[in-house]
Structure 1
Amino acid sequence: MKHIFAVVVLALLSVTTYAHTPKGEPPVKKMKSNSVQHIVLFKFKPETTPEKLKEILAAFEALPSKIKEIKGFQWGTNNSPEGHAHGLTHAFILTFDSEKDRDAYLPHPAHKEFGSIVGPWIADLTVVDFTNQAK
């Protein structure tokens, strides 16, 4: 009887999990508490057209599908009212399970290819990595 109950509970859990996953989107990957956050901030050259910017953003968004070590990817444009952005307009956060995974990402051919796409259009950039210390 206990085995039947366990099977029913597991089946309900799997159905509930599937029902809460939006169609067409992969399930969110669970990130480790000591994950590495790779933060990239861009300031684009004034001659960067909206079309070129769209191409660059699409290329960056494609990296998680090409590089298995990327466990999380977020990006957005600066909307801080504080006035300390120094012209940096776009922020990206890539999450890795470890420094080893981050280190595998850096020389990855897909990352290098992205660098060749974005490089000519960058006026300035900042990169900061940290290992999550939050409990």
Structure 2
Amino acid sequence: MKTITLILALSFASLISAFAHDHGDKKAPFRHVVCFKFKADATPEQIKTVEKAFAALPSKIDTIKGYEWGTSLGGVERAKGFTHCFVVTFDNQAGLDAYSPHDAHQAFIKLFKPFVEDVFVFDYIAQ
């Protein structure tokens, strides 16, 4: 019984050590979440234009390391009218700091403003 306990303890210690070694030096990604509530009179074509323009930003801004988006699966009430969520990943805060004033991002803001009633933005470091 002592042998089994010792083997389990050593195995557990090895796993913890391996995890700390593999993940300890990596920095957690910085996420920038943007949710849109489109105006009631925004057409499907206008919404599609905004979707495509947002999707084009990673090819224009090199600090963007990842990008994904989707539409709400819940009811409109649950999502408080927000229908679209975009998640942009950066290596760090400096990546977002370079993204915000970038000409491509500023042009995107001008493009979506006429069609969007409200925007929710939330930044966090992934845990």
TM-score norm. by structure 2 comes to 0.76
Does 2:105 align with 1:100?
no
Counterpart selection for 2:107 from 101, 109, 113: 113
Question: Gapped runs of 5+ residues in structure 2?
Answer: 1-25
Per the TM alignment, residue 124 of structure 1 is displaced from its structure 2 partner at its CA by 0.9
Contact 2:76–2:83 (CA under 8 A) maintained in structure 1: no
Does 2:79 align with 1:85?
yes
Identity %: 45
Does 2:66 align with 1:67?
no
Structure number with higher helix proportion: 2
Matching residue's letter, 2:40: P
Per the TM alignment, residue 81 of structure 1 is displaced from its structure 2 partner at its CA by 5.6
Contact 1:33–1:132 (CA under 8 A) maintained in structure 2: no
Structure 1 runs of 4+ off > 6 angstroms? none
Counterpart selection for 2:41 from 40, 47, 50: 47
Matching residue's letter, 1:38: H
Which has more radius of gyration? 2
Matching residue's letter, 1:34: A
Matching residue's letter, 1:97: D
Distance in 2 (alpha carbons) for counterparts of 1:87 and 1:54: 17
Matching residue's letter, 2:126: N
Per the TM alignment, residue 101 of structure 1 is displaced from its structure 2 partner at its CA by 0.6
> Compared with structure 1, are the counterparts of its residues 54 and 81 closer, same or farther at alpha carbon in structure 2 (3 Å cutoff)?
closer
Paired residue total: 102
> Compared with structure 1, are the counterparts of its residues 80 and 117 closer, same or farther at alpha carbon in structure 2 (3 Å cutoff)?
same
Question: Gapped runs of 5+ residues in structure 1?
Answer: 1-31
Distance in 1 (alpha carbons) for counterparts of 2:121 and 2:81: 15
Matching residue's letter, 1:100: A
Per the TM alignment, residue 80 of structure 1 is displaced from its structure 2 partner at its CA by 2.5
- Please give the per-residue CA displacement for 1:27-82, whole angstroms capped at 9, x wherever unaligned: xxxxx641110000000001110111111111100000000000000000000369
Provide the alpha-carbon RMSD of the alignment.
1.5
